[in-house]
């Protein structure tokens, strides 16, 4: 696959992570310091809350690691700094172990591995990093759709999405839209969401449907960012995952022979 689009993904994910990391800095001592409330876990003996000023030290370390990753000059070093610091912060406070944290850690691991696949000025690289992101994204969506249908009531209750949007996740925009959007439209959106999640293996992996699936997925996350409270950074993160989905994983023979010739020179 071409290197440049993968570089775009690394930069986009770095920006999404830095935005999320800046957001977390507001309650630094609550979720990382000894002053906050922390759930006990088997990992608490090793990943302990930090006394002052170490929460700030760890935060700045991870921040500058993210800057290194964004600069694309020392990808492996940036991934190690960001990944190790963020992993510590995640395990330190089990209450923060959520989908968003796991997605970032997985993507950082794939990016770290991909840095070993680059050779000099090559314009192509192994496509497996992009495949891994696609497969991971499919598992995330299919698992979410499976839980909604088997363990939830999204197929039996036509108003499940509406109740969700009017509950904990409600925002000022959703309150404004309640009298504007008919209840039937919320129901249609509910079934389309489940259909997209369960159909993710076909929509995001098959070449014939991948572009259409990416458009639907991006629109879904833009809607989540605008209409669901506290899910902006999750949606921003997930939008970056669509860059590997759209990266061409094979080039025309003429382009490949040209790149081989350039490498030989």
Measured distance CA(180)–CA(168) in Å, rounded: 20
Among 59, 12, 70, smallest CA distance to 237 is for 12
Q: Cα–Cα distances in Å, from 55 out to 17, 28, 73, 87, 114?
A: 18, 7, 27, 14, 30
Which residues are CB-contacts of 118 (< 8 A; sequence separation ≥ 6)? 3, 125
Q: What is the pLDDT along the chain (265 residues), one digit of tens a residue?
A: 888 899 999 999 999 999 999 998 887 888 888 877 777 777 777 888 888 889 999 999 999 999 999 887 688 899 999 999 999 988 888 777 788 899 999 999 999 998 887 655 568 888 899 999 999 999 999 999 999 999 888 988 898 888 888 877 888 888 888 888 888 999 999 999 999 999 999 999 999 999 999 999 999 999 999 888 888 999 999 999 999 999 988 644 434 444 444 443 4
Measured distance CA(265)–CA(263) in Å, rounded: 5
- Report yes or no: 208 and 244 within 8 Å, Cβ to Cβ: no
Burial class (CB in 10 A: 0-12, 13-18, 19+), 193: buried
């Amino acid at each position: 696959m071409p290197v440049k689009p993968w570089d775009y993904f690394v930069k986009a994910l770095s920006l999404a992570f830095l935005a999320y990391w800046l957001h977390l800095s507001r309650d630094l001592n609550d979720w990382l310091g000894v002053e906050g409330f922390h759930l006990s876990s088997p990992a608490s003996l090793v990943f302990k809350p930090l006394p002052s000023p170490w929460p700030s030290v760890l935060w700045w370390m991870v921040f500058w690691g993210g800057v290194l990753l964004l600069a694309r000059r020392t990808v492996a070093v940036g991934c190690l700094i960001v990944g190790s610091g963020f992993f510590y912060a995640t395990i330190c406070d089990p209450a923060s172990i959520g989908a968003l944290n796991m997605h970032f850690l997985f993507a950082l691991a794939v990016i770290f591995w991909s840095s070993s696949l680059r050779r000099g000025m090559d314009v192509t690289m192994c496509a497996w990093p992009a495949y891994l992101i696609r497969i991971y994204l499919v598992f995330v969506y299919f698992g979410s759709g499976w839980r909604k249908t088997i363990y939830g009531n999204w197929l039996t209750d036509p108003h499940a999405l509406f109740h969700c949007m009017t509950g904990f996740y409600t925002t000022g925009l959703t309150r404004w839209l309640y009298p504007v959007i008919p209840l039937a439209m919320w129901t249609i959106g509910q079934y389309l969401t489940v259909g997209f999640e369960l159909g993710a293996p076909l929509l995001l992996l098959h070449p014939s449907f991948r572009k259409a699936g990416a458009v639907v997925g991006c629109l879904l996350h833009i809607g989540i960012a605008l209409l669901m409270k506290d899910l902006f950074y999750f949606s921003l993160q997930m939008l970056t995952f669509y860059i590997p989905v759209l990266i061409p994983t094979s080039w025309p023979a003429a382009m490949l022979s040209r790149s081989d010739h350039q490498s030989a020179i």
